[in-house]
Structure 1
Amino acid sequence: MKKTLITIVKILLFFIGWAVLLVAGEFIIPDSPGSAVWRFLSELVPFLSAVLFTALFWLIEKRRIKPVVLSSPLKNTAIGILAGVIWIGIAAAVLMLSGTMKITAYNSVPMLWLWALSVFINAAMQELLVRGYLFQMLKTDYNVAIATIITTALFTFMHGGAFEAGVIPVVNVLTMSLLMTIVLEYTGSLIVPAIMHFIWNFIGGIILGGVVLAEDYPNLYVTEFGGNILLTGGAPKMEGSIAVLILNILLIFVFSLLIKKKKLKV
């Protein structure tokens, strides 16, 4: 019981501390919503807050936990890019070939590189916040299963908007979190899920307009969805589609097999 209470306190302190620093940091952001610079700063503050509290808790834990695993950066960057492109590529291809998703227009997006950087920082922040210190602490003090269950629940509740959209969007967020965790366990690096998460949001959201991001994020292409809501996904678009759910489950199965194969070699 004592161990459980200590763990709960750690989780609460980590999240509350991150949130307090996040709110404090918002006051230094210039009041110019809608601009690429404003969005960049809005993503940078929570990321730096997550980095700071990860480092702080790492020191408090006397370095017994590795909150950030950055092994083989070049190799894992390549894996992340390849896996991310396959992930969003298959999802988009299925929806386009089925006629569910159609590109209807093109928009000019000034400072696209800065919007892309903002998306990357947001994805890295989410992965560090959920699968950084918290996941490694729970894995060290308990086991992988407990760490996966708790961090997946936290990740799902962080995307609370999915609950208003229906069952499939919620299950999609849940399976996406499980996929990122399994990828982390397979590669041993936080780099891979962070890059996969970024590619999903950047190509799916900024480029194709099929993944819903914050309202001020632009879309390079105007995309329309039509047909059965099980495929179109409704308001969440791609992230509400049953096609994405099936793909997530298949990828979870593939990476689970890769983990099993990797363990047999050891």
Structure 2
Amino acid sequence: MKWPLNHSMLLTKEQADSSPWMTILLTFIMYIANIFVTAIVSIPFIFQFMGKENIDFTDPSASSQIQEQMSLSSSMTYVSLFLTLIMIIIALLFARWFQGRKSNSFGFTSEDFFRKYGIGILVAAVTMGLTYLINLLLGTISSQMNPEQNGMAFMLLLIGFMIQGLSEEVLLRGYMMNGIAVRWGVLAAILINSILFGLMHLANPGISWIAIVNLILAGIFFSLLFYITDNLWLTGAAHSFWNFIMGVIFGVQVSGLVLPGSILVTKAHEQHALINGAEFGFEGGLVVTVILVISCFFFLSKVKHLKPVK
């Protein structure tokens, strides 16, 4: 079965219709450029942590010690999240300069913005809420209120994740998926960008084979959501609040990263690591696997009823 192109994909075909290999190449260039900029901005923080007396630089693991301490730094967390705005800017400019694509070919539309964004938040709240509740009922986690809650941290993380989640959707779904779909088809575009999404997290702390599988499934989940709704604001909201609810509301590691000032502090019991994801967070556990598989099958049932856009 050949899946029909949605409206933003048709706009991509009309405006660019360039080689999928060019789209993939530019995706990698943009991703590396973002890492490079982030690394430059991180230099002051690296020197700060290099000065810590508790790091033994004769130890071969010194670099990983610095990385671990940086991941626990509140200021570094905020900077990293806000810097993903660069990814959005780079993707839109590269698409415009090298392929003649406009923002509407990414699935950006102002029509019914607040309702669509709200639906995206609801999707994230339902999926992540179920993940938390099932783990809690199974006894794989325990939670308590965080005595170090911080209103400023909450707002900075809220805005930061709204940017960060959208940035990944802009690059992988709006840019890469649409660019590949016009030549190789929707299904190939979904699989390729989802695999890349999983591979992008290989360097995250606590990564495991289940986490990689789940991240690829999450890529398929967001790709199907984007394909069905054809709205990048909605998909971006779902991605952003998936991370925000997991990390800031429930106090769970987000792809291995610990966040400051969460509302709850949630402890994953080590004996149930296969279920709760342990130090990687829920995305490394089987509960998320089941929820994502069920959700993807639900979205696939909706794809069957999509009519070709004229």
Q: TM-score range by the shorter chain?
A: 0.7 to 0.9
1:130 corresponds, among 138, 156, 172, to 172
Checking the alignment, whether the CA contact within 8 Å between 1:124 and 1:194 is kept in structure 2 is: yes
User: Normalized against structure 1, the TM-score is what?
Assistant: 0.85
Instruction: Tell me whether 1:13 sits opposite 2:26 in the alignment.
Output: yes
- SS state at 2:279 partner: coil
Tell me by how many angstroms 1:93 deviates: 0.8
Separation in 2, partners of 1:21, 1:165: 22
What do the CA deviations read for 1:217-265 (whole angstroms, capped 9, x no partner)?
2133221222433212232231121111001011111111122234399
Separation in 1, partners of 2:208, 2:34: 32
Q: 2:276 matched to which residue of 1? A: 232
Separation in 1, partners of 2:43, 2:225: 37
Aligned residues: 262
Q: 2:298 matched to which residue of 1? A: 254
Separation in 1, partners of 2:43, 2:161: 19
Separation in 1, partners of 2:272, 2:79: 38
Tell me by how many angstroms 1:99 deviates: 1.4
- CA RMSD between the two structures: 2.9
Instruction: Tell me whether 1:23 sits opposite 2:32 in the alignment.
Output: no
Q: How do residues 65-144 of structure 1 correspond to structure 2 at under 5 angstroms?
A: 66-71=104-109, 72=111, 73-110=113-150, 111=152, 112-144=154-186
Q: Which amino acid aligns with 1:196?
A: A
User: Normalized against structure 2, the TM-score is what?
Assistant: 0.74
Say which one has the larger Rg: 2
Separation in 1, partners of 2:81, 2:204: 21
Q: How do residues 143-222 of structure 1 correspond to structure 2 at under 5 angstroms?
A: 143-161=185-203, 165-213=207-255, 215=257, 217-218=259-260, 219-222=262-265
- SS state at 1:103 partner: strand
List alignment gaps of at least 5 residues for structure 2.
1-17, 46-69
Separation in 2, partners of 1:116, 1:65: 24
List alignment gaps of at least 5 residues for structure 1.
none
Checking the alignment, whether the CA contact within 8 Å between 2:206 and 2:280 is kept in structure 1 is: no
